[in-house]
Amino acid sequence: MFNLPDVRDTIEILLETEIKFSKQLHGGDINNTFFIKTDSDDYVVKINSVQHYPGMFEAEKIGLKTLENTNTIRVPKSSFTGQEGGASFLIMEYIPQGRKAPYFWEIFGHQLAQLHLNSRETFGFSSDNYIGSLKQHNDRFISIQEFYITQRIDPQIRLAKTNGYEFKNSDSFYKELGNLIPHEKPALVHGDLWNGNYLIDPEGKPCLIDPAICYMHRETDIAMMHLFGGFEAHLFESYQEIYPLEKGWQKRLDIWQLYYLLVHLNLFGSSYYSSVLHILNKYA
């Protein structure tokens, strides 16, 4: 895995200043992540392999900028992407960790709802991106059923099959999907909104990181937030004040969680297999 010295010269050229101090931050299995201090500002730098993850940081920069342009919820400003040797990098604004404001969860709920009010005519996005280390396809569709099947569920099922997993009821799930999902306009979603993908900024407000954006059914964000927990009920109550969810949304969460469970199955292995089968069998 590549480290800061592998890209330091290029970063200093782009920033037009020297790096005075650096330290490694937690970055997971995909990236090495560093805090850097210069005479002018502080930044976060994410580094990985061009060969293994082509276009990942360019896609992340587009995602961050798209979210930023909504003026709804804070994200780090992204400055540059670049390459040096076999390494690729993304330079972002460093946001110091704060403490939750008294109405943090209410603010979060309102801002997330306002984000989801941003819409387009089609589901998908102008370019593909990543979910974790896996490619995420974003071809545009008028139909949420077609988009969810062809761009989300089926690619993950096909990948899982190459890893030795079997799925007998996926076709039945596809046929039933149209009867399960309420019609809504496409919403701009974060796309990977688990409790590790938000920060608390110095003002005590939420800040989203590591997006996997597209225009999607907004219940996908809500479903991911419920999958692993870590979000208080006040958030969802406040969300409903701005953009109420369609009746029965709680019963539909597992429809959207299926995608994330398949991703986890393909990334982390068999412990997620039974959960995937349970959802497929439920709607067969």
Asked whether residue 26 carries a pLDDT value surpassing 90, the answer given is no
Surface-to-core class of residue 103, CB atoms within 10 Å of its CB (0-12 exposed, 13-18 middle, 19+ buried): middle
pLDDT over 70 percentage in the chain: 99
- At position 154, the amino acid (one-letter code) is D
Per-residue pLDDT tens for 103-136? 999 999 999 999 999 999 999 999 999 999 999 9
Per-residue pLDDT tens for 231-253? 999 999 999 999 999 999 999 99
Asked whether residue 1 carries a pLDDT value surpassing 90, the answer given is no
Domains of the chain (ranges, CATH numbers)? 4-93 (3.30.200.20), 104-282 (3.90.1200.10)
Q: What is the mean pLDDT of residues 152-168?
A: 97
Write down the catalytic residue from 41, 192, 221, 254: 192
Surface-to-core class of residue 238, CB atoms within 10 Å of its CB (0-12 exposed, 13-18 middle, 19+ buried): buried
Catalytic residue list contains 192: yes
Per-residue pLDDT tens for 207-237? 999 999 999 999 999 999 999 999 999 999 9
Per-residue pLDDT tens for 65-107? 999 999 999 999 998 999 999 999 999 999 999 999 999 999 9
Banded pLDDT at 263 (limits 50, 70, 90): very high
Strands of the chain (E only): list them. Answer: 19-25, 32-38, 42-49, 78-84, 87-93, 129-131, 134-136, 187-189, 198-200, 206-208, 214-216
For position 29, what pLDDT does the model report?
A: 76
Question: Is residue 112 a contact partner of residue 235, using CB atoms and an 8 Å limit?
Answer: yes
CB neighbour list of residue 170: distance below 8 Å, 6 or more residues apart: 153, 154, 157, 280
For position 27, what pLDDT does the model report?
A: 63
Ramachandran class of 55: left when φ > 0, alpha when ψ lies in -120 to 50, beta otherwise: left
For position 267, what pLDDT does the model report?
A: 96
Q: What is the mean pLDDT of residues 163-191?
A: 95
CA–CA separation, 172 vs 157, rounded Å? 14
Q: What is the mean pLDDT of residues 4-14?
A: 96
CA–CA separation, 74 vs 157, rounded Å? 34
Report phi then psi at 278, rounded to 5: -60, -45
Per-residue pLDDT tens for 27-55? 667 999 999 999 999 999 999 999 999 99
Q: Are strands 42-49 and 32-38 parallel, antiparallel or unpaired?
A: antiparallel
Banded pLDDT at 14 (limits 50, 70, 90): very high
| pTM, 2 dp | 0.96
Enter the tokens of residue 176.
């039933």
Residue 216's nearest CA partner among 107, 69, 115 is: 115
Q: What is the mean pLDDT of residues 167-193?
A: 95
Enter the tokens of residue 165.
């997993």
